[in-house]
């Protein structure tokens, strides 16, 4: 097995307590990291390795997007400047009912994978219909994904109801079980679209197959108020009653929380996905990150879908998470640059149940490695490379990406599939959609 020796200027391992390393190198053997150490020592030790010079670049772990709807790249910009329920009920759901198909999800997910890889994202926690299409797209693109057994309590173009969604999701899970790039989640859409009975079924499914549970919760004040009217309980209290509050739960958005709920989240080990830019764009509010940090809740980051963000840009989320927390609380230390990066790496790996393999650059872990250039004039001078990643660099500075030791981005060019052909197919789909919308 020929080793690959990466020779950057800096390495930020994200290993707790470890500073930025300068003058070091990283060795990939197969799909894993074989060594990290002083450059000259590794050059001598791995004299026959393939050398990759990465001048003025910093190596970081692949970013983890802990909540997205990949295929919705095909709805990017279709309905902007609206509140959540208007956006969903009057625009997104009607379009999905007409257009969403296996082909649509595959091509939209490939587009999301391309955008993500060019943004340094190596893992997508996805939630959408036609999970088999998402699975194929992730494999073809060479990106990791947690594919969802996605369930909602009303009919769509994908299924007739909860039992149909579960059956189809389980069939896809069985078909792709064992694929190295794939994890799976049990994914009830939200408390306002899923019944108690369905929640219990999905909890049992997660327990039976050892899956994480991925769900939108407490996204808007209206959702919380409506739950109290319908059930006499806030959504989190309802989910606690149904047995869902545990380390399996990946709770997305969580904007509207009280003190007792934050305490319960910490006690139960629930993982919380903060989506700062989507929540701002939909005017849903700002998650109480200072209180969550003080309580010790594992808070991580996601983009949400491209229809509501409209970027699958984790560099943007990292920067927004740091700045928004400071501005909302008057505390510049509440989310430091390192904390913000942890939310997209080591903490997110924990949320996905993958901290043993992902989230930091350590010997023995999977070689999901991103090289970011700090050499451009926009990124100079460099006093603190870690802070530079958060407050200065953007996704456009990502130069190279390896997933499981495979180089899938080489100097900004995707190597794993034909991007030009993909864009042509997506334009064909969008052309048909535009024609259909004009006709109606």
- Residue 440 pLDDT: 66
217 vs 401: CA distance, rounded Å: 33
What Å distances lie between residue 258 and 272, 392, 437, CA to CA? 14, 34, 42
Q: Picking from 287-301, 373-387, 424-438, which range would have the lowest pLDDT averaged per residue?
A: 424-438
Six token digits for residue 348: 């997110």
Q: Indicate the average pLDDT of the chain.
A: 97
- Residue 294 pLDDT: 98
Q: Across residues 191-204, what is the average pLDDT?
A: 98
Q: Across residues 47-65, what is the average pLDDT?
A: 98
- For 147-172, write each residue's pLDDT tens digit: 999 999 999 989 999 999 999 999 99
Q: Is residue 20 a contact partner of residue 355, using CB atoms and an 8 Å limit?
A: no
When pLDDT is cut at 50, 70 and 90, the band that residue 1 belongs to is: confident
Is pLDDT larger for residue 84 or for residue 57?
57
Q: Across residues 326-341, what is the average pLDDT?
A: 97
- For 236-285, write each residue's pLDDT tens digit: 999 999 999 999 999 999 999 999 999 999 999 999 999 999 999 999 99
182 vs 132: CA distance, rounded Å: 11
Domains of the chain: 4-61+366-404 (2.30.40.10), 63-351 (3.20.20.140)
When pLDDT is cut at 50, 70 and 90, the band that residue 128 belongs to is: very high
Q: Is residue 393 a contact partner of residue 114, using CB atoms and an 8 Å limit?
A: no
Quote the DSSP letter at residue 395.
Answer: G
7 vs 34: CA distance, rounded Å: 14
- Residue 113 pLDDT: 98
Is pLDDT larger for residue 88 or for residue 313?
313
- For 252-266, write each residue's pLDDT tens digit: 999 999 999 999 999
Whether 439 shows a pLDDT value over 90: the answer reads: no
Is pLDDT larger for residue 208 or for residue 98?
208
Q: Across residues 26-49, what is the average pLDDT?
A: 98
When pLDDT is cut at 50, 70 and 90, the band that residue 65 belongs to is: very high
213 vs 236: CA distance, rounded Å: 14
When pLDDT is cut at 50, 70 and 90, the band that residue 438 belongs to is: confident
Quote the DSSP letter at residue 414.
Answer: E
The count of C-alpha atoms lying within 13 angstroms of the C-alpha of 347, restricted to the half-sphere facing its C-beta, is 24
pLDDT above 90 covers a percentage of the chain that reads 96
Q: Is residue 33 a contact partner of residue 365, using CB atoms and an 8 Å limit?
A: yes
* 252 alpha carbon, distance to own chain's centre: 11
Comparing CA positions, the residue from 306, 253, 308, 307 lying closest to residue 275 is 253
385 vs 383: CA distance, rounded Å: 6
- For 355-372, write each residue's pLDDT tens digit: 999 999 999 999 999 999
């Amino acid at each position: 097995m020929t080793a690959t020796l990466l020779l950057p200027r800096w390495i930020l391992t994200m290993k707790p307590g470890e500073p930025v390393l300068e003058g070091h190198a990283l060795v990939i053997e197969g799909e894993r990291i074989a060594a990290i150490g002083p450059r000259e020592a590794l050059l001598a030790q791995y004299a026959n390795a393939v050398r990759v010079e990465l001048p003025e670049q910093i190596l970081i772990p692949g970013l983890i997007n802990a909540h997205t709807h990949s295929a919705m790249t095909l709805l990017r910009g279709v309905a902007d400047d609206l509140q959540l329920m208007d956006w969903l009920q009057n625009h997104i759901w009607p379009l999905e009912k007409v257009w969403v198909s296996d082909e649509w999800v595959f091509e939209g997910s490939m587009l999301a994978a391309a955008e993500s890889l060019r943004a340094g994202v190596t893992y997508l926690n996805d939630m959408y219909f036609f999970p088999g299409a998402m699975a194929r797209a992730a494999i073809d693109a060479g990106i990791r994904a947690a594919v969802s057994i996605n369930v909602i309590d009303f009919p769509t173009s994908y299924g007739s109801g909860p039992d149909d969604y579960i059956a189809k999701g389980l069939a896809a899970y069985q078909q792709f079980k064992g694929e190295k790039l794939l994890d799976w989640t049990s994914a009830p859409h939200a408390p306002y679209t899923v019944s108690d009975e369905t929640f219990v079924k999905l909890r049992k499914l997660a327990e039976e197959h050892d899956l994480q549970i991925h769900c939108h919760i407490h996204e808007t004040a209206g959702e919380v108020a409506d739950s109290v009217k319908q059930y006499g309980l806030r959504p989190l209290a309802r989910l606690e009653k149904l047995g869902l509050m545990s380390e399996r739960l990946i709770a997305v958005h969580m904007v509207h929380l009280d003190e007792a709920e934050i305490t319960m989240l910490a006690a139960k080990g629930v993982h919380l996905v903060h989506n700062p830019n989507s929540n701002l764009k939909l005017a849903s509010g700002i998650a109480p990150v200072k209180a969550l940090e003080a309580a010790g809740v594992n808070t991580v980051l996601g983009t949400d879908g491209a229809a509501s963000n409209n970027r699958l840009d984790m560099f943007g989320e990292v920067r927004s998470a740091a700045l928004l927390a400071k501005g909302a609380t008057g505390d510049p230390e509440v989310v430091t640059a390192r904390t913000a990066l942890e939310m997209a790496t080591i903490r997110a790996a924990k949320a996905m149940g993958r901290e043993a393999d992902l989230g930091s650059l350590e010997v023995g872990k999977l070689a999901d490695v991103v090289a970011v250039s700090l050499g451009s004039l926009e990124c100079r001078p460099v006093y603190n490379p870690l802070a530079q990643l958060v407050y200065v660099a953007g996704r456009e500075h990502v130069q190279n990406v390896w997933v499981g030791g495979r180089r899938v981005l080489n100097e900004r060019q995707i190597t794993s599939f034909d991007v030009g052909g993909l864009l042509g197919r997506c334009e064909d789909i969008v052309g048909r959609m535009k024609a259909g919308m004009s006709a109606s």
